[in-house]
């Protein structure tokens, strides 16, 4: 059932209907409003006051929380820029690490190389080469585990953001220790999977979307369950807690804004023109805007260790 839905929303010919896709923040019977607890604290720079957040739980997937974009447009630009210019550089690993690394080091980072390419068509082709970067605990994709020997400092500014969001939602003990930044050019997908490599599989998983919209599927603990489809737009946050933490999920489709039915695509199309530049605003270059016109970035943050656990415990390693 899960794979059938994945193929349906991935299809280009014929394209899928968005009739059953839920829009985060909308008034839908399957989205139950969540009341936040103490929201009298200090606001976080770049986010709306928590009193303005629209938080819902997906009733068919208990524990799946969704927050409609709480970011200012300036903050969205900030996180897009960091994801492109800062996160895909050593010591963080990427899908390109180790392949022609010496040659790349001689001419600069992926982002620096991208900006030296003369034509838009060539830049867009090269831009598709970056697909992921790992932060904090580096993830071993082959063996599907984290390695204590490859634990890098977690970015301070991202850690502060995630801790604020976690505390606001009632998860004040969450510790951001690893993140995977996924880069989705138009046409890219992410197959159905569960996240189960962390020692603590009870801690929530925080997922931030920026750029072009995408269809997100969330199913159950078996591929036999039919998933729900959500439309994630720029700035939306998904938090997998409780029973939903180990559910199958996937991204079958990244949508260029104009592909969506009227009324669904406005959020991602307008971030580039909102909040006119003003003194103190984050620098927003044409190169970032050009990249984001055809791409989506997802930052998903995990707690790897159990509470009070200092290092990873692996059998046979002491």
Question: 282-300, pLDDT tens digit by residue?
Answer: 455 778 888 988 899 999 9
Q: Give the residue, 243 or 106, on which the prediction is more confident.
A: 243
Q: In this predicted model, what pLDDT tens digit does every residue of 110-129 receive, in sequence order?
A: 888 988 888 888 988 998 99
Residue 270 has pLDDT above 80, yes or no: no
In a domain, 314, yes or no: no
Residue 83 has pLDDT above 50, yes or no: yes
DSSP state of 61: S
Cβ pair 171, 241 in contact under 8 A: yes
In a domain, 307, yes or no: no
Strands 178-185 and 132-140: antiparallel
As a whole number of angstroms, the distance between CA 145 and CA 197 comes to 5
- What phi-psi label fits residue 19: left (phi over 0), alpha (psi between -120 and 50 degrees) or beta? alpha
The per-residue pLDDT for 162 is 97
Residue 249 marked in a binding site: yes
For residue 253, the cross-strand partners are 215
In a domain, 265, yes or no: yes
As a whole number of angstroms, the distance between CA 96 and CA 183 comes to 13
Over residues 181-203, the mean pLDDT reads: 87
Over residues 212-224, the mean pLDDT reads: 92
As a whole number of angstroms, the distance between CA 32 and CA 25 comes to 10
Residue 195 marked in a binding site: yes
In a domain, 272, yes or no: yes
Residue 196 marked in a binding site: no
Cβ pair 88, 80 in contact under 8 A: no
Local confidence band at 317 (pLDDT 50, 70, 90 cut-offs): very low
Structure tokens at 123: 């830049």
As a whole number of angstroms, the distance between CA 61 and CA 9 comes to 20
In a domain, 317, yes or no: no
105 phi, psi to nearest 5 deg? -60, -30
Q: Nearest to residue 177, comparing CAs of 196, 154, 155, 156?
A: 154
Give the chain's mean pLDDT.
Answer: 85
In a domain, 310, yes or no: no
The reported pTM is 0.90
Residue 318 has pLDDT above 90, yes or no: no
Domain range enclosing 61: 1-302
Residue 268 has pLDDT above 50, yes or no: no
In a domain, 4, yes or no: yes
Residue 79 has pLDDT above 90, yes or no: yes
The per-residue pLDDT for 99 is 56
The per-residue pLDDT for 132 is 94
Over residues 177-190, the mean pLDDT reads: 94
286: domain CATH number is: 2.60.120.590
The per-residue pLDDT for 37 is 76
As a whole number of angstroms, the distance between CA 12 and CA 10 comes to 7
Q: In this predicted model, what pLDDT tens digit does every residue of 84-96 receive, in sequence order?
A: 999 999 999 999 8
Handedness of CA 217, 93, 237, 173 (dihedral sign): positive
In a domain, 96, yes or no: yes
Number of domains in the chain: 1
């Amino acid at each position: 059932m899960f794979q059938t839905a994945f193929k349906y929303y991935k299809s280009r010919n014929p394209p899928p209907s968005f009739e059953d896709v839920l829009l985060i923040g909308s008034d839908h019977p399957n989205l139950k409003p969540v009341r936040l607890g103490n929201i009298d604290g200090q606001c976080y720079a770049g986010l709306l006051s928590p009193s303005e957040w629209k938080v819902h739980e997906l009733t068919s997937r208990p524990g799946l929380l969704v927050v409609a974009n709480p970011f200012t447009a300036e903050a969205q630009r900030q996180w897009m820029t960091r994801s492109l210019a800062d996160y895909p550089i050593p010591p963080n690993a990427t899908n390109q690490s180790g392949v022609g690394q010496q040659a790349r080091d001689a001419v600069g980072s992926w982002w620096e190389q991208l900006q030296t390419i003369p034509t838009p068509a060539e830049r867009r082709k090269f831009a598709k080469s970056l697909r992921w970067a790992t932060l904090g605990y580096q993830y071993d994709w082959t063996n599907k585990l984290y390695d204590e020997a490859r634990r890098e400092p977690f970015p301070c500014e991202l850690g502060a953001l995630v801790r604020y969001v976690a505390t606001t939602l009632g998860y004040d003990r969450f510790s951001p220790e690893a993140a995977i930044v996924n880069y989705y050019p138009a046409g890219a997908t992410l197959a159905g999977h569960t996240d189960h490599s962390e020692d603590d599989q009870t801690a929530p998983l925080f997922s931030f979307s920026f750029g072009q919209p995408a269809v997100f599927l969330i199913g159950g603990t078996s591929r036999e369950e039919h998933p729900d489809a959500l439309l994630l737009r720029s700035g939306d946050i998904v938090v997998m807690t409780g029973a939903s933490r180990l559910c199958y999920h996937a991204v079958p489709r990244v949508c260029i804004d104009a592909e969506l039915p009227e009324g669904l695509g406005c959020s991602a199309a307008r971030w580039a023109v909102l909040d006119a530049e003003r003194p103190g605003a984050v620098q927003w270059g044409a190169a970032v805007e050009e990249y984001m016109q055809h791409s989506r970035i997802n930052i998903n943050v995990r707690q790897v260790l159990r509470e009070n656990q200092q290092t990873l415990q692996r059998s046979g390693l002491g």
